Amino acid sequence: MEISCFSIFFVLLLVHCFMASSAVAVRTNITTDKSALLALKSHINDPNKILASNWSTSTSVCNWVGIKCGAKHLRVTSLNLSHMGLSGTIAPQIGNLTFLFNLSFRNNNFHGSLPNELASLRRLEVVSFGLNNFSGMLPSWLGFLPKLQVLYAYTNSFEGSIPESIGNLSSLKVLHLSENNLSGVIPQSLGNCTSLEIIHLDDNNFTGEIPLEIGALQNLTEVTLANNSLADHIPDAIFNSSKIEVISLYMNQLSGHLPPSIGNWLPNLKVLYLWGNELEGIIPSSISNASMLVELELGANYFSGSIPNTLGNLRHLERLNLVNNYLTSNSSTLELSFLSLLTNCVNLTSIVVAGNPLNGTLPISIGNFSTSLEEFEAFDCNIKGIIPREIGNLSNLMTLHLENNELVGPIPSTVGGMRNLQGLYLQHNRLKRSIPKGICQLRNLDELFLNHNKLFGPIPTCWGSLSKLQKLYLNSNKLTSIPSSFWSLIEILQINLSSNSLSGYLPLDVGKLEHVTQMDLSWNKLSGDIHAIRGLCSLVSLSLAHNKFQGPIPQSFGKLISMEHLDLSDNNFSAEIPKSLMKLKCLKYFNVSFNRLQGEIPYGGAIAQFSASSFMGNQALCGPPQLKVPPCETSNVGQSTTTIIERYILPAMIATILALFLICALLRRQKRDTKHNGQGDLLALATWRRITYLELEQATDGFRESNLVGKGSFGSVYKGMLSDGTSIAVKVFNLNIEGGFKSFKAECDILCSIRHRNLVKIISSCSRIDFKALVLEYMPKGSLKKWLYSHNHFLDMIERLHMMIDVASSLEYLHHGCPLPVVHCDLKPSNILLNKDMVAHVSDFGISKFLGNEESITQTMTLATIGYMAPEYGSQGTISTRGDVYSYGILLLETFTRKSPTDEMFTEEMSLKDWRHLKRGQT
Ligand SMILES: *[C@@H]1O[C@H](CO)[C@@H](O)[C@H](O)[C@H]1NC(C)=O
Ligand SMILES: *[C@@H]1O[C@H](CO)[C@@H](O)[C@H](O)[C@H]1NC(C)=O
Ligand SMILES: *[C@@H]1O[C@H](CO)[C@@H](O)[C@H](O)[C@H]1NC(C)=O
Ligand SMILES: *[C@@H]1O[C@H](CO)[C@@H](O)[C@H](O)[C@H]1NC(C)=O
Ligand SMILES: *[C@@H]1O[C@H](CO)[C@@H](O)[C@H](O)[C@H]1NC(C)=O
Ligand SMILES: *[C@@H]1O[C@H](CO)[C@@H](O)[C@H](O)[C@H]1NC(C)=O
Ligand SMILES: *[C@@H]1O[C@H](CO)[C@@H](O)[C@H](O)[C@H]1NC(C)=O
């Protein structure tokens, strides 16, 4: 009975299946395609309204945007929705587009996993899911699409391992799965995909060995597996594929030696990146037989032995990076002979050999490098001897790093020949004599480090021509005087002249250095008063310690509101410590010890945090007992004195304060005016750390699409990694659109002048005429928006609360903690970024504003985001800190309710605010 029941059921099932399949076979036609596409459309959120009216039922499917049909059978053969700003999921009905051979969802914001119904698209040749938010496993049916040639799934959130079935794809040419969360070992079956030409698996969590089988693929031209956790040896066979052009395996844990014949079988290799691994042994001289090599980067490994002289045979070489290994130079001569031979490589732009015990001298032939050389880095190399005069021939060099070596002799007078030099780093050597005048010809120099040498004599009088200088370190030498032209370096940000033998006064011209943030003149013999410094309102750190300065500490120091570190110790300062110093809110270090100060210590504000050692050695100071000074005699002030104070001193003081206040207000206004009108080039401030365009290009793999993490009206954001391993986000501004340059400048101005743990930190900026970019701290966890709305992310209430506290504290800082209040103007979930510890950081200051003295300013040029924008801003363009508070309120509601203020449910009558009231009413 049971059995017969079961068999009847089984038969029914078969019949049903048969009917169903025959029905499909019969019925699929262009109408099937149409209904499949309409189903797809109904699952899509289309904010740019690209499909909305175009995919209309009244027109032929074949005329729809993104659709192509076959010429004969009139069925949909190509569905290409790339780069349309779409989101949503992929409807399973797509599996009915059985004639499809080209399917692309590239560069949208689709989420969810890939529906299994796609397995029936047996004609597929090109599939692209790249640059979306897809998640889940890579389905194993991908391996059963018999004609598949190209599979792009890069920059998504796919996880799990690559299905073993991939090995069935005998036609597969391109496999691009970079930037996902894929893990496990790379399947050996890939070796069965004998048509493979390109494999990109970078930026995942793959472990284990690189399968030997990959090396055997005869058609391979590119294999990039960088930034995974691959270990063990690199299969020798990878270095024996005659077609290969790119091998990129950097940032893994690969170990072992390079095969001795490495270059003999690589006739087409152009790029070899093996840096950041655990490779050891020598660099085989056969590498020079890979004669097409353009970029060779083997830094940060354990390579030893000598740098092969044969590198000079690589005629196409442009970049050589061997940083941080144990490499030496050919021991037969003291000269670094490999450098002489490299002069044959006429296209070389960058040589980085720093951090190797080279132990030799710089050859004279260094002057024979071609004019293409832009970067030469050989710091920490035990380089001995002198700097050859011929170095002046390198007329296109932009960066010269020779610091931390054992160089002796003078800085050659020919140095001025390096006309394009932007950074010159010769610190920590034993260079002698005076600084040559030739240095004044380096008009593009923005960083000059000559500290910790034995240079003596005056600083050359021509110094004023170094007008682009931003960082100047001449400390720990034996320099004797500062020329007056020195103080015309108006772009300068950091000056260190400490520990020299400088004497003389500070002229009033010092006040022209209005951007300077750090100034250290300590341990010299400077004298006179320091009134000239009072106008340097950007100062964050000032040390004048151990000099012979005298006179009072200017009252106006209270205006140096950014000051964090103020050291005036061991001078001859006299009179009282001005009370205005209590206004320096940011002070973290304060020292006026060993002077001749007297009177009451203004022990309030930030000064109250310092102890006796900040004030010791001043005989006539008085104040609270914990400062180990006698108490001030205020108690026995007689009645008559009080009246004197009331009658005369108090009014005078009030008048003075009022006057000061007015002056301050005027100065502030003036400063703001120059900022707004005169191009007051604050861009300069951004260069905390110099990063060249080349470095950015390298860090982002040539601004490769796979490194694109975001796109907006302003331009694009790429993620990248600097050669020292710092993860960065590079925000490249689109200068072709109106306001592109403005938003770069706005963001730069603001980010450069503020710092807070909940604000995205700026690392550098890169500004060329045709290229403007900001280099920011990389936030690996993405935006709050992603965490709120994408399906594979979840935030619990406590996490949300913490984030909202983070945002609030950054707002508090922006509005009240900065020298000038900053209004963000565009607070919303997509501008809140999360670091790896889920700490929220406010970003995107492209339309932010500094607030002046007035409460608000009227501004009509830029518009914030609908839904978050305060009503008065929206209607009148009034900007105020209150507008940010409004946006914060909306953000708060959204974060806890997961309802966006632009959600469809909020019609014109109901806003997110009202919805919350409603909900509360119901419960
Ligand atoms: C849809 O877009 C395509 C391609 O842009 C265009 O040729 C077609 O005319 C549009 N159809 C409608 C109905 O707008
Ligand atoms: C899809 O269309 C874009 C432009 O709209 C084009 O650049 C891209 O090559 C197309 N992709 C495919 C796979 O056809
Ligand atoms: C298309 O696909 C859906 C779901 O995958 C299915 O329900 C439907 O019957 C299929 N056939 C047609 C002709 O739409
Ligand atoms: C790969 O090829 C080998 C040998 O031809 C075969 O044994 C193996 O099953 C294949 N693997 C796959 C996944 O196709
Ligand atoms: C490299 O390949 C060639 C032929 O393709 C072969 O003769 C040679 O032995 C191989 N070398 C190594 C080291 O595998
Ligand atoms: C480069 O290749 C040639 C010919 O294949 C060989 O004779 C020579 O020894 C190789 N050079 C090195 C340094 O291995
Ligand atoms: C530099 O190049 C010139 C011209 O090619 C040559 O005469 C000279 O010997 C070279 N100098 C050195 C030191 O190699």
Average pLDDT of each block of 10 consecutive residues along the chain (923 residues)?
43 40 53 93 93 92 94 91 94 94 95 94 96 95 95 96 95 96 96 96 96 92 96 94 94 96 93 97 95 96 94 95 93 88 94 95 93 94 95 95 96 95 96 95 95 96 92 96 92 95 92 92 95 88 96 90 94 92 91 93 88 89 89 59 50 54 48 37 42 81 82 80 82 75 73 78 75 84 83 80 87 78 84 87 78 48 67 68 85 83 62 50 38
Q: Indicate which residue's Cα is closest to atom 10 of ligand 6.
A: 286
Q: What does the DSSP assignment read for 850-884?
A: E--SSS-EE--S----TTTS-HHHHHH-EE-HHHH
Residues 606, 233: Cα–Cα separation, whole Å: 58
Q: Is the CB of 261 under 6 A from ligand 5?
A: yes
Question: Helix, strand, coil shares of the chain as percentages rounded to 5?
Answer: 30, 20, 50
Residue 312 CA, ligand 6 centroid: distance in Å: 14
Instruction: Count CB neighbours of 834 within 10 A.
Output: 21
Residue 364 CA, ligand 7 centroid: distance in Å: 9
User: Atom of ligand 3 at shortest distance to CA of 27?
Assistant: 13
Amino acid at 636: N
Residue 240 CA, ligand 5 centroid: distance in Å: 6
Residue 302's nearest CA partner among 327, 285, 284 is 327
CA dihedral of residues 200, 203, 208, 212 (deg, nearest 10)? 20
Residue 326 CA, ligand 4 centroid: distance in Å: 43
The total number of residues written for the chain in this structure: 923
Q: Indicate which residue's Cα is closest to atom 12 of ligand 1.
A: 54
User: Atom of ligand 5 at shortest distance to CA of 265?
Assistant: 1
Residues 831, 682: Cα–Cα separation, whole Å: 24
Q: Is the CB of 643 under 6 A from ligand 1?
A: no
Q: For residues 114 and 89, is the Cβ–Cβ distance under 8 A? A: no
Position 883 scores a pLDDT of 83
Q: Indicate which residue's Cα is closest to atom 9 of ligand 5.
A: 240
User: Atom of ligand 6 at shortest distance to CA of 308?
Assistant: 13
Mutate to test the pocket of ligand 7, among 365, 366, 391, 393 (most ligand atoms within 8 A of CB): 365
- Which of 826, 837, 844, 884 is the catalytic position? 826
Question: Which residues lie below 8 Å from residue 802, measured CB to CB, with a gap of 6+?
Answer: 838, 839, 840
Position 901 scores a pLDDT of 78
Residues 381, 357: Cα–Cα separation, whole Å: 5
Residues 297, 745: Cα–Cα separation, whole Å: 35
Position 783 scores a pLDDT of 85
User: Atom of ligand 7 at shortest distance to CA of 368?
Assistant: 1
Mutate to test the pocket of ligand 3, among 93, 94, 97, 118 (most ligand atoms within 8 A of CB): 93
Residue that the structure tokens 């004639």 belong to: 99
Q: Which ligand is nearest to the CA of 80?
A: 2
Q: Indicate which residue's Cα is closest to atom 3 of ligand 7.
A: 368
Q: Is the CB of 192 under 6 A from ligand 4?
A: yes
How far from chain centre, in Å, is Cα 279? 28
Q: What does the DSSP 8-state code read for residue 817?
A: I
Residue 34 CA, ligand 3 centroid: distance in Å: 11
Helix, strand or coil for residue 151? strand
Q: Indicate which residue's Cα is closest to atom 2 of ligand 5.
A: 240
Q: Is the CB of 346 under 6 A from ligand 7?
A: no
Q: Which ligand is nearest to the CA of 191?
A: 4
Q: What does the DSSP 8-state code read for residue 918?
A: H
Residue 80 CA, ligand 2 centroid: distance in Å: 6
Residues 52, 45: Cα–Cα separation, whole Å: 10
Mutate to test the pocket of ligand 6, among 262, 266, 286, 293 (most ligand atoms within 8 A of CB): 286
Mutate to test the pocket of ligand 1, among 65, 67, 68, 78 (most ligand atoms within 8 A of CB): 65
Q: Is the CB of 80 under 6 A from ligand 1?
A: no
Residue 222 CA, ligand 5 centroid: distance in Å: 19
Q: Indicate which residue's Cα is closest to atom 2 of ligand 3.
A: 93
Q: Indicate which residue's Cα is closest to atom 4 of ligand 3.
A: 93
Q: What does the DSSP 8-state code read for residue 499?
A: S
Q: Is the CB of 149 under 6 A from ligand 2?
A: no
Task: Mark whether 446 is an active-site residue.
Answer: no
How far from chain centre, in Å, is Cα 636? 61
Residue 153 CA, ligand 2 centroid: distance in Å: 15
Dihedral (CA of 398, 342, 233, 238) sign: positive
Residue 261 CA, ligand 5 centroid: distance in Å: 10
| Domains with residue ranges and CATH for the chain | 641-777 (3.30.200.20), 784-922 (1.10.510.10)
User: Atom of ligand 2 at shortest distance to CA of 150?
Assistant: 13
Residue 275's nearest CA partner among 237, 307, 302, 257 is 302
Q: Is the CB of 104 under 6 A from ligand 2?
A: yes
Q: Which ligand is nearest to the CA of 342?
A: 7
Q: Is the CB of 550 under 6 A from ligand 2?
A: no
Q: For residues 849 and 820, is the Cβ–Cβ distance under 8 A? A: no
Instruction: Count CB neighbours of 395 within 10 A.
Output: 12
Q: Indicate which residue's Cα is closest to atom 4 of ligand 4.
A: 192
Position 655 scores a pLDDT of 54
pTM for this predicted structure: 0.69
Position 26 scores a pLDDT of 40
Residue 376 CA, ligand 7 centroid: distance in Å: 19
